Structure 1
């Protein structure tokens, strides 16, 4: 993800715009380079003490009053999504400049750089990175953000224990037999046909905002912990926010990810099971929004009862 050695790997896999081949290789699909090998191959960080992803134990997560609502800047922009890319490890969307997040207990404003996805093999074999009380969702979307004070310098960002902020959104199969829903995901997945092989990129037409892709998610209810990149070099530089409510997407659109894009050229396997396995538990806190909503509900109920009395 940055320039040389392990840092290049980190930047390429998580944020990057560079080719990682020269720095070493890793994969999801082969026993010689999959995530079981990373702690040895990339021992500096992948064998660290605050690795991601993790299982979120909802009962152990304590409420933190500092975890307030986020401010999402330009998430409603219809030109937010710029370039779609097949990296050979995932599919990634680069974002236009000026998109930012703040609040949410973060120390400063963060610039939103890109988002990418993790999945299993269709809607029937789940592939989210994080799990909740042991449950793995079909997919997970990661929006990657870096401290604005670094002005896009990702080398500095990955060297800071809170230099990056990742927003994790689970993707769950929509109930019923609907297809092509929601419309925003129908538009996005249509463009997978333009990036079927490694290295292919596609300029995304205007018409999809980040808000469109996050339809239906209450972004005030989330979990928080300090972790790492989930790909080599696994730098422990990430403030993780994992939202409780999933994005609902129809089965046919979820299935497209594991049946359209290839690891290399069209003779190579389809890209499936692109997620790192669960790492040791870390301390997780959660926003207090659900408590606030519950308290307000009790207040309204009390007022109603008092009025009737």
Structure 2
């Protein structure tokens, strides 16, 4: 798509392929002058706002919300939906073909899925997820970016809407044991990093893996919800955040590839590491309400256990 110059600031945040320096915003993760601790000064309109992301999710403070139903994921099973992978100089981003969509999950309407990108630290030993849970930071985090389908790609209108974007956040955790190259879908994805080692490189993806494959093992019915922002400048406060409770399990060797393969510019520049923004002030968080049926089953289970213990006394 072709974007007007007036929208470049926003596009930098939504699609990091644009060189933000052309819009007067030079932000980064690796240099003191432009790293995240200075974004509120570099891009103050939103990065210094009141509903910024990412946040620490305090699980005991998350309030139950019965409206948080399950999502419908359209074409997440398609093995041709992932079209290109690119090194933006800030992250690794995978773009989608048209027709990928999410709905349900208490969203106001269907949202078209545009891309996913990743945040990481420096291997499993230095975690780099953006969100944290009760203070725990995971090795990586995957963000699937979606925009309201009713806007038909009109970002001018979309960015005047405080819920125009929906971001799905998935933690990535090191697989237990000594597994290597697992799961197979992530081994395939990581193998493409060799084609995008420098900023601006794009590689056309062959068919073969789907979003469902990459989300293997995750219960997508369990999640946290809050209203926040984009996590890169211009930090627009237009995002409905869904952060899933169960992480994707990926072997250590594949996690390490991200911080050992791609560079922020050419091959003489630093490797891309610690690509995450620091934690922002708390926002109200909701999660699924515990159903009365589950509560009843749990109570009956305790009663049966108590009777069994009593008989053995």
Pairwise TM-score range, normalised by the shorter structure: over 0.9
Distance 1:46 1:298 in 2: 44
Match of 2:310 in 1: none
Q: Aligned-pair distance for 1:144?
A: 0.1
Distance 1:9 1:181 in 2: 38
Match of 2:309 in 1: none
Q: Structure 1 residue 266 and structure 2 residue 267: aligned?
A: yes
Match of 1:115 in 2: 116
Q: Secondary structure at the match of 1:8?
A: helix
Q: Aligned-pair distance for 1:17?
A: 5.1
Match of 1:22 in 2: 22
| Paired residues, number | 304
Cα distance, 1:259–1:16 mapped onto 2, change above 3 Å: closer
Cα distance, 1:291–1:237 mapped onto 2, change above 3 Å: same
Match of 1:103 in 2: 104
Q: Could you say which structure has the larger radius of gyration?
A: 2
Structure 2: tracts of 5 or more residues without a match? 306-313
Q: Aligned-pair distance for 1:153?
A: 1.9
Deviations, residues 187-222 of structure 1 (Å, cap 9, x unaligned): 000000000000000001001100000000000100
TM-score, normalised on structure 2? 0.92
Match of 2:236 in 1: 235
Pairwise CA RMSD = 2.1
TM-score, normalised on structure 1? 0.93
Distance 2:15 2:160 in 1: 14
Match of 1:52 in 2: 53
Q: Secondary structure at the match of 1:166?
A: strand
Q: Structure 1 residue 252 and structure 2 residue 283: aligned?
A: no
Structure 1: tracts of 5 or more residues without a match? none
Q: Aligned-pair distance for 1:18?
A: 3.6
Retained in 2: the 8 A contact 1:223–1:286?
Answer: yes
Match of 1:188 in 2: 189
Q: Report matched runs for 1:13-92 at 5 Å.
A: 13-15=13-15, 18-24=18-24, 25-92=26-93
Distance 1:18 1:222 in 2: 31
Retained in 2: the 8 A contact 1:14–1:229?
Answer: yes
Distance 2:292 2:233 in 1: 39
Distance 2:201 2:212 in 1: 26
